[in-house]
Amino acid sequence: MKEEKKREGERKRKEWEEKLASVTEEERSKLIESRKGMRKERMEKRSEERGKKIQRLNEAKEKGQNIVIDLEFSHLMTASEIHSLVQQIMYCYAVNGKCETPGHLWLTGCKGEMESQLNRLPGFDKWIIEKQNGSYIEALQDRKDNLVYLTADSETVLDDLDLSKIYIVGGLVDRNRWKGITMKKAQEQGIQTAKLPIGNYLKMSSSQVLTVNQVIEILLKFLETRDWKASFFQVIPQRKRFEADSEPNSEAKSEEHQGEEAGGGSEEED
């Protein structure tokens, strides 16, 4: 992609130089001034969009939906898997920033190799999120009753998102090696659990799981649309869908088709 972008830049530059060479001095000056004006407009538009994004994220910090990515599983992952998760987190932040109604993201258990790789991301220190070295239990101990861990192993189906609740997504790549780990953790901590209502709307390919960024994006889509079906179909790639059900309540609840509510393969998503 970088090579293709470089070639495209060289092609446009060559076209521009040929265009300038084919016109008079006066026309050349007009073309250059026009291009400067267009570039200035683009920069002003980007600056305006950036300002609006910052405003939306700051408002979400005060009254938006709190979503935690639990990074306490980094010791169970290889360096390449941690790198994959860092890329997913970067994608989550980018998607959240573009939302008209963004959530407020938390990174808890952010330490060691995970913290090192995150700190290498350009501009990470300016992200409008909560970064905690400690666990979410420590950071949100006064709100423990409102913590909800999202895990496919839960028997509770998430019907709606509650602003008073804080939803936790397990930051774990290649979760197939650690089945049931998030459910066990939530039970040991005595916090609520829930699963996305994926089985009510579609069946998942048995070998596929959702990545962290897909789970976060589904939650963000639902915050905008209040429509689970639309959120799932907009986010989950076709290759991960086994079969779509026409009725929301039709039977699609076998364990092997539900997918996981977090984690995911080591691919860097879409």
Question: How do 104-108 and 66-70 pair as beta strands?
Answer: parallel
Residues 6+ apart with CB under 8 A from 195: 150, 151, 152, 153, 154, 156, 157, 158, 258, 261
Q: How far apart are CA 85 and CA 171, in angstroms?
A: 7
DSSP letter assigned to residue 260: -
Tokens of 238: 């076709």
CB 192 within 8 Å of CB 183: no
Active site residue 174: yes
Of the residues 159, 174, 227, 245, which is catalytic? 174
Strand partners, 20: none
User: Hey, how many other C-beta atoms are within 10 angstroms of the C-beta on 15?
Assistant: 10
Torsion of CA 234, 236, 237, 241, to 10 degrees: -120
Distance CA 164, CA 146 (A): 7
Contact call for residues 169 and 256 (beta carbons, < 8 A): no
Residue 77 vs residues 8, 72, 171: alpha-carbon distances, Å: 38, 10, 10
Active site residue ranges: 174
